[in-house]
Amino acid sequence: MGKGNGKSDVTNLDLEHELPPGEGGEESAAAAKPEAVQAGAKPEIESLRAERDALLDRLARLQAEFDNARKRAAREQQEFREFAAADVIRTILPILDSFERALKTASGESGEFRNGIELIYRQFQDALQKMGVQAIPAVGQVFDPRVHEAIEMVDTSEVEDHHVLEELQRGYKYKDRLLRPAMVRVARNTSGK
């Protein structure tokens, strides 16, 4: 191809990409066998439609399966975070117990030391409450084996049967999950009160 003659380059390109004319033209071929072409194409079209429908169905199922897997992974990740947080909170609870014991023994004392301990105790409880930790009510409640652990049964006529007399160690829940049960003394009323 020469640089001087631009028109011959265009003509050569057109000739290179042009298809040779068919024998008798396309219209004559389709007109010659219209029934044979249509009869052979019908089963092929139906099979292609069936294949397309099957692939679309498979695609829809895979998309739904992927969406379910994504949701399941997010739920499992959230459950793992809550489980890990519950484990950390369990390790902190003995510290809270020590504060409670210190406050009970220092009840006769007054002054800045007791006030300081009470302040730290309240801050600690507030922090745990913000995290979703809840104390399990015990004293005066009906004994519930799901959240209370009976350490001792005490015979008494002053309290109704199977009610908690005393809480030895407070129980806690974290977002409706039991961290530890409350250790309690339970009344056994033989008088039928």
Can you give the three-state secondary structure of the chain, one letter per residue? CCCCCHHHHHHHHHHHHCCCCCCCHHHHHHHHCHHHHHHHHHHHHHHHHHHHHHHHHHHHHHHHHHHHHHHHHHHHHHHHHHHHHHHHHHHHHHHHHHHHHHHHHCCCCCCHHHHHHHHHHHHHHHHHHHHCEEEECCCCCECCCCCEEEEEEEECCCCCCCEEEEEEECEEEECCEEEECEEEEEEECCCCC
**Domains of the chain with bracketed CATH:** 36-131 (3.90.20), 133-193 (2.30.22.10)
Tens of each residue's pLDDT in the chain, 193 residues: 445 554 444 444 455 555 555 555 445 444 545 555 566 678 889 899 999 999 999 999 999 999 999 999 998 888 888 777 777 887 788 888 877 777 777 666 667 777 778 888 888 888 888 888 888 888 888 888 888 988 888 888 787 888 888 888 889 888 888 888 988 888 887 765 5
Q: What is the pTM of this model?
A: 0.49
